[in-house]
Amino acid sequence: MLFPIQYLHPALNIPRYHHERWDGAGYPHGLKGEEIPLTARIFTVIDNWDALTSDRPYREAWSVERTKSYLIEMSGQIFDPLIVEKFLEILETSS
């Protein structure tokens, strides 16, 4: 759907690969670790942070502490451990 939009071409790796998992259990291609484009690995952490810390029709937002714990727990499984580490560092310095 996005491919015909020329100016989005540099960012197409994000929607294409952001459901891949660091451990290789994601989709659509089962990419693992650094096979997943960096932009998609970064977006996955940010997207999960936003989803978990926001109210949804089916559940209330998680606390910041619970979300941080989840990111750390899933680091190395869903998320790139280095991206999680850097993301949490940025959160701490911007608070």
| Domain limits, the chain | 38-95
Q: Token pair for residue 73?
A: 């727990």
pLDDT (tens, 9 = 90+) of the chain, 95 residues, equals 778 888 888 889 899 999 999 999 999 999 999 999 999 999 999 999 999 999 999 999 999 999 999 999 999 999 999 999 999 999 999 87
CB 68 within 8 A of CB 74: no
Q: Are 2 and 15 in contact (CB under 8 A)?
A: yes
Contact 31, 17 (CB under 8 A): yes
Phi, psi (deg, nearest 5) at residue 45? -65, -45
Residue 43 structure tokens: 């977006």
What is the rounded distance in angstroms from the CA atom of residue 95 to the CA atom of residue 6? 37
Query: What pLDDT digit, counting tens, does each position of 84-95 carry?
Result: 999 999 999 987
